[in-house]
Structure 1
Amino acid sequence: MNPGSSKKTEADQMPPPVSSTHAGAADGGEGATGIGSHTSADDLLAAMGYKAELVRTRSTWHVAFMSFVLASIPYGLATTLYYPLQGGGPVVVIWGWVIVSLIILCVAASLGEITSVYPTAGGVYYQTFMLAPARWRRVAAYVCGWAFVVGNITITLAVQFGTTLFFVACVNVFESEPGVGVWQAETYQVFLTFLAITLFSNLVSAYGNRMLHHLDTFAVVWTFAGLIAIMVTILALAREGRRSAAFVFGHFEPTSGWPAGWSFCVGLLHAAYATSSTGMIISMCEEVESPATQVPRAMVITVVTNTIGGLLFLVPLMFVLPDLASLVALPSGQPVPTIIKAAVGSSGAAIALLLPLMVLAVLCGIACTTAASRCTWAFARDGAIPGSKYWKRVDPARDVPVNAMMLSLAVQVVLGAIYFGSSTAFNAFSGVGVITLTLSYAAPIAVSMLEGRTQVKDGKFYLGNSLGWFCNIVAVGWSLLAVPLFCMPSYIPVTITTVNYAPVVFVAFIAISSAWYYAWGRKNYHGPPTEQFVAGHAVGVSNHETSTSDSDRRVE
């Protein structure tokens, strides 16, 4: 610590960039592995005020692979392809994906820059607290934390529900008669399938934690093998013919009822949903050997890889696209199985090509379940969630926050019941997940900008002045567009069963978090703890034990 900073007033003091104070510890010797790197990363964590409770078993590639599985391209694009097709067809599918991917690259780079300074499972929540001015950092962190937790849980719910609907559509490539699938899934059957998939994901995440990085590695190989198989087969067979390049890259046919420009924007939910998991990987920082460098790199690498993988999946599908109106009219809302079956002309061949996507869907659910449990646990660790003393416990036998995982599971099951009253529940789940995650990502970026980006300059992933400002502005601008955009129904006119319930769920969470803050939080919640190194050892000075003021509790 700089002794000279004691001359500042308490309200002006800002927490130091931890990774700059302990630069060697931040990266574990830049790529070091083994006990040494674990120790330095744990020391860095202690400097940020936390005891290491999780096991560091993941390398840079393990993190990149998990981040890839969280997005699960092409599965993430397959389950929401209905929205850009209705929003305008191939133009929205292809160019919407490219545009959003470039935007998310700016988001990933911006978050990586901040994460290299504050690498903890609290993620954007902790970062917002440390970057914000003392007078309002507690409220800013609280709002960001709730948005991050809600986003993780609801996007996990969207994945599990999307998997359910996708499985039903895949089974129905087999028909009892032309145009009639073999499984006319009733509402309760869809819900029970969703429960089974969700419970399976939680069991694997809870009991197979030390093997999950192997699953992620398998998923990457499996994904690209499946992509190549789909791309080559549908283009080679193309039983119903091939579209022209002009159609694939230039055809715009909105059927949503919205004006053309807004219809294009509403169709971007497809790409936004697939890329919304970008910052979720930050919650794994306390299970990574060298989080200050590995996690930022993994986020950026994943966005680039996903962009390429997405194009390899989407472009061939547009070349063999059947009649657009018939796809938009599908009751299942899942056009990919129909497109693939039309291209190969056989139910058996279609299910063989869909199998890689089905397996990837399950692996994506497991990865999202893991990330959601970590961010819920990290937020509860600072007392920000009702009943925190239960949710912050880590099972020592499995090195997993099982209680936090069960809380996430319970919320998903309760929200999943919305499907009984709305056929567009998946739209609500994916919409609120994208909204809240986008807001949570924007919070630390916006605060860093307001503070002149001074604290990120000492990070291991500093973007530089010009590039950093550009990426930050794009990221914050995207969040300002995403909130109203994804509260809109995907098409009009709207009925009680097709209305977008994303705003309802979003407002409900805001009401719950606000009520908890005013009933308990404003007197008892103090934000993350702060720590300092003294003679090479972490000496904790917990916020909960020293001061209840909103001013900076940094110890000099």
Structure 2
Amino acid sequence: MADAFAMKSGGKFASEIHHSRSSSSEQHGEKSVNRDEQEMARLGKRQELRRNFGFMSMLGFSCTLMITWEGLLTVFVYGLTDGGPAGLVYGYLFCWVGYFTVVASLAEMVSMAPTAGGQYHWTFLFAPKSCRNFLSFITGWQSVLSWQACLASAAYLGGTIIQGLLVLNYPSYDFQRWHGTLLLYSVIFLAMLFNTYLAKQLPKVEGAVLIVHIVGFFGVLITLVYLAPHGTANDVFVQYLANGGYDKGTSFFVGLITTVFAFIGADGAIHMSEEIKNASTVVPQSLVASIALNGTMGFAMLIAILFCIGNIDNALSSATGFPFIEIFKQAVNSNGGATALTSIVLSLMIFATIAVLAAASRMTWAFARDNGLPGSRFISQVEPRTKLPLYSVALSVLITLLLGLINIGSSAAFNAVASLVVSGYLGSYTIPIILILHKKIYNPSSIHYGPWTLGRGFGIFCNAFGLLWIAIVMTFSFFPSVRTDLTLETMNWSCLLWGGTMIIGVVSYFGYLRGRYNGPIVETDIIEQVVHGV
């Protein structure tokens, strides 16, 4: 279908056709459609979802999905083992710069082709004809898996933070894993409510949550800085720890995974592209702005928490399961104050789950629309009245419910599944960035950029540095945080799980989907609209 589209359009396949900025309908003057519909038509897609997001609502969506400063509070303590305070500070800066170059690369590509499929669609457009179907499928497969794992992880964090507050305020409470699973279910059902019955209000909600995200940041930051005892600059910027059994250099890189988590989900806006007005401009702007804003707040919060960490042994041994709750308690010297501060983090974690469900369901829907999943015909349906992909929303919720059951048997097993988040996300970014970099170097004239571009020189730098950064982070994300005395629970299973899912993907493609998945499907009626302007 894609080849037929290229032939009918009177030009070559790939960027010349799909990314052309001229409008056939304008040339013929027979029918005018808005810019977003024109861009969808050039990509061979029909507008099925309702566009109701603008820049501010999408900025709120992106920032609250990543929850950088909030996420750092939940995981920063693990970086103290490998790297210590100084390792966290400089590792954060390295990850912030690395993620910025990756997101900038993605932003440039989404400006060329703003579709919900994102990475796998671009891979198909830029890859050689001989392997574009396979590379596109593997990219989409990784993206779907990572988003589903991220959704389960976000709901799990929300549920277990609630448990932490119960432990803090009710010493007689008996912490049970199945309680956490039930609380996980409550969080995911609330997210489903906002993605179905309240979906029309989601843009307004995301704009409001952006305000909470910023105001809450200052509320927590000022409280910590003003009330908590402070360490010295030497404690924060010089003190380096390597307690995981690695040498100092290796320990630094192993500890990077802590700060990488703070930027997970940075591509969320891409998968909402078909619901955003003026997507080819708004999506890249919101991507870059969210990395800049969240990165700044995250760095400030990291510095504050390292200065105000207090008794680290008490924090690490906190019965709540979250050291940051104990740090809040030490700072304000009351359970009530700690509960209030934690409630800010908890509420934003829940709203992050709402945004993750939206992005995960759109990514799943887009891949199913192009026959990338079993049961694609069912999963890709859009409810005609609400213009929502309700079946993909339901599937995403069901997957989280099933993954939540793993936590009842073993939280370590659940965390192992959740570890797919980093490798899956970064793996899905890698292939399209490699392909666009290759084109920029060897065939730059074949690229027709969108309205948002990095420029050739800076673009090549971002692509190359981003790929180097991904290679470093992915490699060390497979290392266990503690090298000595490994057990089944302390072992890092992400390499095995990521490799296993990739094998399943390859086997599925060659065994079942090879003749069914042929890249992004071009709809014939859209071909006629582009070619004939009708």
Q: Specify whether residues 85 and 279 from structure 1 end up closer, same or farther in structure 2 by C-alpha distance, changes over 3 A only.
A: same
Distance 2:393 2:416 in 1: 22
Matching residue's letter, 2:91: G
Q: Which residue, out of 215, 222, 227, partners 1:232?
A: 222
Let me know the Cα RMSD of the aligned residues: 2.7
2:263 is the counterpart of 1:279: no
1:36-185 matches, cutoff 5 A: 39-174=34-169, 176=171, 182-185=172-175
CA contact (8 A) 2:79 2:255 kept: yes
Distance 1:491 1:98 in 2: 23
Distance 2:438 2:388 in 1: 37
Distance 1:386 1:535 in 2: 26
Q: Which residue, out of 497, 506, 519, partners 1:505?
A: 497
Distance 1:417 1:500 in 2: 21
CA contact (8 A) 2:178 2:407 kept: no
1:466 corresponds in structure 2 to 457
Matching residue's letter, 1:16: E
Distance 2:197 2:437 in 1: 41
How much has 1:364 moved relative to structure 2?
Answer: 0.2
1:345 corresponds in structure 2 to 333
Q: Specify whether residues 46 and 258 from structure 1 end up closer, same or farther in structure 2 by C-alpha distance, changes over 3 A only.
A: same
CA contact (8 A) 2:195 2:354 kept: yes
After superposition, the C-alpha distances for 1:302-340 in whole angstroms (9 at most, x for unaligned) are: 000011111232222111112334434446552111111
CA contact (8 A) 2:110 2:284 kept: yes
Matching residue's letter, 1:518: F
Q: Which residue, out of 468, 491, 509, partners 1:477?
A: 468
How much has 1:16 moved relative to structure 2?
Answer: 1.9
Distance 2:448 2:477 in 1: 34
2:200 is the counterpart of 1:210: yes
2:296 is the counterpart of 1:304: no
TM-score, structure 1 normalization? 0.87
How much has 1:53 moved relative to structure 2?
Answer: 0.7
Structure 1 stretches of 5 or more lacking a match? 27-35, 177-181, 541-556
1:257 corresponds in structure 2 to 245
After superposition, the C-alpha distances for 1:161-183 in whole angstroms (9 at most, x for unaligned) are: 1222222223333363xxxxx43
SS in 1 for 2:481: coil
How much has 1:421 moved relative to structure 2?
Answer: 4.3
2:487 corresponds in structure 1 to 495
Q: Specify whether residues 440 and 450 from structure 1 end up closer, same or farther in structure 2 by C-alpha distance, changes over 3 A only.
A: same
Distance 1:164 1:262 in 2: 34
Distance 1:95 1:325 in 2: 23
Matching residue's letter, 1:486: S
SS in 2 for 1:261: helix
Distance 1:247 1:144 in 2: 42
CA contact (8 A) 1:128 1:144 kept: yes
Matching residue's letter, 1:184: D
Distance 2:407 2:490 in 1: 11
CA contact (8 A) 1:122 1:379 kept: yes
2:520 is the counterpart of 1:528: yes
2:176 is the counterpart of 1:186: yes
Matching residue's letter, 1:78: L
CA contact (8 A) 1:81 1:335 kept: no
Aligned identity (percent) is: 27
Which has the larger displacement, 256-265 or 69-78?
A: 256-265
2:254 corresponds in structure 1 to 266
How much has 1:211 moved relative to structure 2?
Answer: 0.8
How much has 1:63 moved relative to structure 2?
Answer: 1.4
TM-score, structure 2 normalization? 0.90
Distance 1:317 1:324 in 2: 11
CA contact (8 A) 1:215 1:363 kept: no
| Matched residue count | 517
Distance 1:439 1:57 in 2: 30
CA contact (8 A) 1:37 1:289 kept: no
